[in-house]
Amino acid sequence: MKSTLYLTTKVLPGNKIEIQNQNLTEGRTVEVVIIISEPNNSIFYEKEESLSLEERKAFLKLPIAERRRIMEAQAEKMLSHYEEDSEWKELMAGDIIEY
């Protein structure tokens, strides 16, 4: 069974990150996921095309709070898109005709 530990740390000089925790024993293998808090550096914000399977899996491995933050930013982007583009409103304004 895997256990998850969420830590926040600062990048040290030389672009290094140090992680210390009493539950980590020397020689043990661990998985590390790094989430950069600047949204402009995230593939999930800027990429227009569909995500690859690896990118989708990486997204699902993110903490739920991070996934919600990403999806909220995407929803806000789409809201502004639909507010600016009125073509979809014209399409939906007509009568429904059954044949």
Tell me the pLDDT tens digit for each residue of 45-71. 455 567 788 888 888 888 998 889 888
Query: What range defines the domain where residue 64 resides?
Result: 39-93
Is 27 part of a structural domain of the chain?
no
The mean per-residue pLDDT over the stretch 72-93 comes to 76
Is 56 part of a structural domain of the chain?
yes
Is 75 part of a structural domain of the chain?
yes
Quote the pLDDT of residue 42: 46
Is 19 part of a structural domain of the chain?
no
For residue 6, the number of C-alpha atoms closer than 13 Å in the C-beta half-sphere is: 7
7 vs 66 pLDDT, higher one:
66
Is 55 part of a structural domain of the chain?
yes
Quote the pLDDT of residue 32: 85
| Amino acid at site 95 | D
pTM: 0.39
Quote the pLDDT of residue 14: 92
The total domain count for the chain is 1
Burial of 17 (0-12, 13-18, 19+ CB in 10 A): exposed
Is 63 part of a structural domain of the chain?
yes
Is 71 part of a structural domain of the chain?
yes
43 vs 17 pLDDT, higher one:
17
Is 78 part of a structural domain of the chain?
yes
Per the prediction, the chain carries an average pLDDT of 77
pLDDT tier at 6, thresholds 50, 70, 90: confident
